Structure 1
Amino acid sequence: MNKTILIIDDDSRNIFALSAVLRARGYACVTAAGMNEAFATLTAQDNIGLILMDMMMPDMDGYEAIPKLKAAEQWKHLPVIAVTAQAMAGDREKCLAAGADGYLSKPVDIDQLQGILKQYV
């Protein structure tokens, strides 16, 4: 069963690049430019199987959003992969401590992304 991947990123170029790569590999994608849109998408669709979340967004960043997602009964099972340009020492641990199930640094390594998708989708 091919679940849909929700890409949350405030930069349309990142959304375009990630969704193009995923669609080329046969994955269905929906996108959101921020957390309000993401929560609306999650509420409207029950086929989301994985979230790729940019950690640095203006309205609500990933460090605030992931705990809210994990606290909601209907979404706590959803794997959330942090996608961030923050690739400094300790950033991966910070993302995982916020509740992310995995971590990808930008620019996204396609082989690493594929490995995560095989694990969760």
Structure 2
Amino acid sequence: MAKVLIAEDDRISQKLALKIVEEMGHVGFISPHGKHAYEALTASNDFDLLLTDIMMPEMDGQQLIKTIRGDQQFTDFPIIIMSAVVGVNDISNLLKLGATLFLAKPLDRAELQSYIRRCLGEKE
């Protein structure tokens, strides 16, 4: 059972991502924006994966990735981006910043499950 932090400000996307994570037998925690997510990560340091949106108040997903990757303890921490931003350059830039995988919204249940398994090193 993994602990998954979900940084998402949209309630519908929060609920869907949380439901998918919990259906997989993992525990999900909702964070309303990037600043809160980073504070949660550094406070407990026992999360296994971050699912994050890009467009959020306080600290967006791009800044969150930069901040996480700038912290030594999170250099290999898996980060899945969930975003409606689908431009190839945007996706490429997010991956260059340190995102592990990119998932387009609206979320596809099977694809998100597959990405979570890959990031956690689970068999498909």
Calculate the TM-score normalised by the size of structure 2: 0.88
Whether the 8 Å contact between 2:52 and 2:79 is mirrored in structure 1 is: yes
Question: Deviations for 1:69-94, whole angstroms, at most 9, x for unmatched residues?
Answer: 01101222211111101123333212
Report the Cα distance in structure 1 between the residues aligned to 2:90 and 2:110, rounded to whole angstroms.
20
RMSD (Å), alpha carbons: 1.4
2:19 paired with 1:20: yes
Matched residues, number = 120
Is 2:79 the partner of 1:80? yes
Report the Cα distance in structure 1 between the residues aligned to 2:107 and 2:79, rounded to whole angstroms. 15
Structure 2 residue ranges without an equivalent (≥5): none
Amino-acid identity (%): 28
Q: Any stretches of 5+ residues in structure 1 without a counterpart?
A: none
Q: Which residue of 2 aligns with 1:40?
A: 39
SS of equivalent to 1:52: strand
The match for 1:56 is 55
Structure with a larger share of its residues in helix = 2
Distance (Å, rounded) in 1 between the aligned partners of 2:88 and 2:77? 26
**CA distance in 2 between partners of 1:18 and 1:79 (Å):** 16
- Separation in 1 of the partners of 2:11 and 2:43? 22
Matched with 2:110 is: 111
CA contact (8 A) 1:3 1:47 kept: no
1:11 aligns with 2:10: yes
